[in-house]
Amino acid sequence: MAPGRDTKAGKLFTRLSDLPSLPKVVERILKLPSDTATTRDFADLIATDQGLSAKVLRLVNSAFYSLRTPVSSIRQACSLLGIRTLKSLSLSVSVIQVFKRRQPGFDPIRFWSHSLAVATIGRRIAEASRSPLLEDVYIAGLLHDTGIALLAQHYPEEFARLSLPGSEGTPAALALEEEEFGQAHPEVAYHLASQWRLAPAVALGLRHHHTDAARLPPDIQPEARLLIELVQYSDLYARAAGHSFSEADRLDSVRTPPPPAVSGLDAQAMEALCGELDHSIQELRAIHLDFEREKAT
C-alpha cells in the first residue's frame, strides 16, 4: 500500500516530483520494447547522451563482460550483448548518480560498493543457472537498498539515530523505520521503482528483499519469487564476503550461506563463481563511482 500522506514517508512521496529523477534519455531507453526494438533504435537513442554512451562503453569493455575484442560503438555493443543488457547498463550508470550525497550514517561509496556486489553476485548466479532473469536480477540487486538512500538523504538525523550496529534488515530495525518514517526502506524502494516504472518483478525484488519466503504474498509469480530469492541470497553473500554498506549493515554473525537450491550450485561452485568478486567490484566501482568521496555532495 502507498504511504499515508500524514506520515513522513507519505510527505516524501508527495514531493517525488522534486526529487532527482532518471535522465530523460534513460526513461526513453527503458520504454523501448526489448522484443520489437532494433539495435539501431537503441544505439541511436543512447548516442544522444555522450556521457552515458562513454560510460556504457567502458562497462562493456570491462573484464566483467569478458568480450574477446574491444567494442567501439553502442551499435556493436547492442549486437554482442543485446538490448536488455544495454538497458540495464544505462539504468545502472544513471541511478548511481541520483544518490551520491554523503549524510550521517550514509557513505555513498560504501553503499554503492555493496549494491554492486549484490548485483554482481546475483547476475553470476543467474548466468550460471541459465535464468532468463539475468538483467532483472542485476538491476534488483543494484537497487535493493535505494529506500535506505532515499530516507538517509531526506531524514539524515532520524536515519542516523536508527542505524544501530548490525541492525539493518532485522525485524526490529524494520519496525523502527516504519514507526519513524511511515514505511520501512523496502517499501520505500518499491514505490521509487514504481515511480521509475521499472519491471514489476524488479520492484517486487526491492519490496521483499527482507521478507521470509513463508511470508511472501501467495499471488507473487514464480519468476518474481526466484528473483527475490536470488537478491536475498546475494545480499547475504555480499555481507559475508565483506561488502557491507555501513556498520548497521555489517552483521558479524553472517556466514557464507549455502547457495539457493534453484541455482543448481554447490558451495564449491559458488566459491569459484565469485572467486574474483573483489576485483570485479573494484573495476565496476572505478567506472560507476566517478564522484570522489570528499566531493560527493
Helix axes 222-240, 134-143, angle to 10 degrees: 50
In the predicted model, residues of the chain with pLDDT beneath 50 are: 1, 16, 292-297
Which run of H or of E encompasses 98?
helix 83-98
For residue 18, the model assigns a pLDDT of 56
Q: Specify whether the CB–CB gap between 185 and 159 falls below 8 A.
A: no
48 found inside a domain: yes
For residue 119, the model assigns a pLDDT of 93
- pLDDT tens per residue, range 77-125: 888 888 888 888 888 888 888 888 887 778 888 889 899 999 999 998 9
- pLDDT tens per residue, range 40-59: 888 889 889 888 898 889 88
Looking at the fold, whether 32 and 175 belong to one and the same domain comes out as no
What CATH number corresponds to the domain at position 194? 1.10.3210.10
Residue type at 3 in one-letter notation: P
Looking at the fold, whether 176 and 274 belong to one and the same domain comes out as yes
Looking at the fold, whether 243 and 180 belong to one and the same domain comes out as yes
For residue 109, the model assigns a pLDDT of 87
- Return the C-alpha cell found at 197: 516504472
For residue 224, the model assigns a pLDDT of 93
Looking at the fold, whether 81 and 133 belong to one and the same domain comes out as no
For residue 37, the model assigns a pLDDT of 81
Looking at the fold, whether 154 and 255 belong to one and the same domain comes out as yes
- When divided into structural domains, the chain yields a total of 2
Looking at the fold, whether 192 and 89 belong to one and the same domain comes out as no
Looking at the fold, whether 87 and 125 belong to one and the same domain comes out as no
SS (H, E, C) 245-275: CCCCCCCCCCCCCCCCHHHCCCHHHHHHHCC
Which domain covers residue 82, as residue numbers? Answer: 22-98
For residue 138, the model assigns a pLDDT of 93
pTM for the full predicted model: 0.87
Rounded to whole angstroms, how far apart are CA atoms 214 and 199? Answer: 23
Domain boundary among 98, 129, 154: 98
3-state secondary structure of 106: strand
For residue 207, the model assigns a pLDDT of 96
Rounded to whole angstroms, how far apart are CA atoms 85 and 91? Answer: 10
For residue 230, the model assigns a pLDDT of 93
Q: Specify whether the CB–CB gap between 225 and 216 falls below 8 A.
A: yes
Looking at the fold, whether 79 and 106 belong to one and the same domain comes out as no
3-state secondary structure of 73: coil
Work out the angle at residue 93's Cα, subtended by the Cα atoms of residues 89 and 98, and round it to the nearest 5 degrees. Answer: 140
For residue 6, the model assigns a pLDDT of 59
Domain boundary among 72, 98, 124: 98
